[in-house]
């Protein structure tokens, strides 16, 4: 596996790869969720490129940019084991040189959910992903369903800006007890780790109710909220039952839905979701 830092090194190494190229953008501190994307890319593409870049522009000033977990040595050896061909680890100045001024904005689908709570987040995500796509020029790019809104936003950007690539969204990878894998799980102490199970448990209870015939959006949101509210260490930020494609909030009887949530467990903000269909 080759490891590069600059745009020019990346372009040179990328041009030597067999096509089609599959691309997995990450912020590092890799877990099984990321590795499942790398594996799927390896099954579907002749070469796999992974980027590791903790993108400062998608963090608000009060968020965890400084403390975001990093372990480049562990990440590169995991990627080597998974058979990735090229890892790109740019410095901040490579992506955002002095006097940087250009941004990619996706409108409607960035407004609700995460966008409502983190108003500058998706501007940073779409801008960096556009820059990464421009440099890597993959035929396929892989994202996790865990960041459900991010996947919808990136698909919209790819459609609107005519990127010649397919977006592949892979299932959420969970710990054996149901907690969705996330680099931020590292922040949780033992008690918080237990309380964090209220996210997946609430979602699974609602999904079961849906499968048994409960169709009312309010009732489904209520099941999730009640489970989280049982945990003194957990504070629900939002629970949503949205249309999975438009992300518009639904009311009354639903046929399908993206049931998603954000919860503070102690200081740690966690998100999770299930698809109802």
Catalytic residues: 34
Choice from 10, 22, 26, 145 touching ligand PAF (CB under 6 A): 26
Of the pair 184, 215, the CB lying nearest ligand PAF is at: 184
Structural tokens at position 255: 């046929």
Contact range with ligand PAF by CB under 6 A, out of 21-29, 100-108, 199-207, 264-272:
21-29
Of residues 187-246, which lie at the interface with ligand PAF (CB under 6 A)? none
180 binds ligand PAF (CB under 6 A): no
Task: Single out the residue of 17, 27, 87, 195 in contact with ligand PAF (rule: CB under 6 A).
Answer: 27
Site for ligand PAF in 130-169 (CB under 6 A): 147, 150
Candidates 50, 79, 106, 128; binder of ligand PAF (CB under 6 A) is: 128
Considering the complex, state which of residue 125 and residue 136 has its C-beta at the smaller distance from ligand PAF. Answer: 125
Q: Which is nearer to ligand PAF, 125 or 196 (CB)?
A: 125
Closer Cβ to ligand PAF, 114 or 192, answer by number? 114
- Contact stretch for ligand PAF (CB under 6 A) within 68-76, 87-95, 122-130, 198-206: 122-130
Q: Is the CB of 129 or the CB of 228 nearer to ligand PAF?
A: 129
Among 129, 136, 263, 265, binds ligand PAF (CB under 6 A): 129
SS3 labels along the chain: CEEECCHHHHHHHHHCCCCCEEEEEECCCCCHHHHHHHHHHHHHCCEEEEEECCCHHHCCCCCCCCCCCCCHHHHHHHHHHHCCCEEECCCHHHHCCCCCCCCCCCCHHHCCHHHHHCCCHHHHHHHHHHHHHHHHCCCEEEEEHHHHHHHHHHHHHHHHCCCCCEEEEECCCECCCCCECCHHHHHCCHHHHHHCHHHHHHHHHHHHHHHCCCCEHHHHHHHHHHHHHCCCCEEEEEEEEECCCCCCECCCECCCEEEEEEEEECCEEEEEEEEEC
Closest to ligand PAF by CB, 118 vs 227, is 118
Q: Which of 155, 143, 96 is nearest to 124 (CA)?
A: 96
Stretch that binds ligand PAF, among 23-31, 134-142, 213-221, 249-257 (CB under 6 A): 23-31
Is 25 one of the binding residues for ligand PAF (CB under 6 A)?
Answer: yes
User: Is 55 one of the binding residues for ligand PAF (CB under 6 A)?
Assistant: yes
Looking only at the bridges linking them, the beta strands covering 86-88 and 2-4 are parallel
Alpha carbon distance 156, 123 (integer Å): 13
Chain residues that interact with ligand PAF, rule: CB under 6 A: 25-27, 55, 58, 125, 128-129, 147, 150
């Amino acid at each position: 596996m080759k490891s590069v830092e600059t745009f020019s090194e990346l372009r040179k190494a990328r041009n030597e790869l067999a096509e089609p190229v599959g691309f997995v953008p990450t912020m590092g501190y890799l877990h099984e969720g990321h590795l499942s994307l790398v594996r799927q890319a390896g099954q579907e593409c002749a070469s796999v490129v992974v980027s590791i870049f903790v993108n400062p522009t998608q963090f608000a000033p009060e968020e965890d940019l400084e403390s975001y977990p990093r372990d480049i040595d562990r990440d590169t050896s995991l990627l080597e084991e998974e058979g990735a061909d090229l890892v790109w680890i740019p410095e901040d100045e490579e992506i955002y040189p002095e006097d940087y001024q250009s941004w990619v904005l996706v409108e409607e689908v960035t407004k609700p959910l995460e966008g409502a709570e983190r108003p500058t987040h998706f501007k940073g995500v779409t801008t960096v992903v556009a820059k990464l796509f421009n440099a890597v020029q993959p035929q396929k790019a892989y994202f996790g369903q865990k960041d459900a809104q991010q996947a919808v936003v990136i698909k919209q950007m790819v459609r609107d800006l005519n990127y010649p690539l397919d977006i592949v969204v892979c299932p959420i990878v969970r710990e054996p007890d149901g907690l969705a894998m996330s680099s931020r799980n590292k922040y949780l102490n033992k008690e918080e780790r237990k309380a964090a199970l209220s996210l997946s448990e609430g979602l699974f209870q609602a999904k079961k109710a849906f499968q048994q015939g409960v169709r009312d959006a309010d009732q489904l949101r209520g099941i999730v909220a009640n489970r989280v509210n049982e945990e003194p260490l957990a504070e629900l930020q939002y629970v949503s039952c949205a249309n999975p494609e438009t992300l518009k909030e639904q009311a009354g009887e639903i046929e399908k839905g993206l049931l998603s949530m954000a919860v503070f467990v102690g200081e740690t903000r966690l998100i999770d979701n299930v698809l109802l269909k």
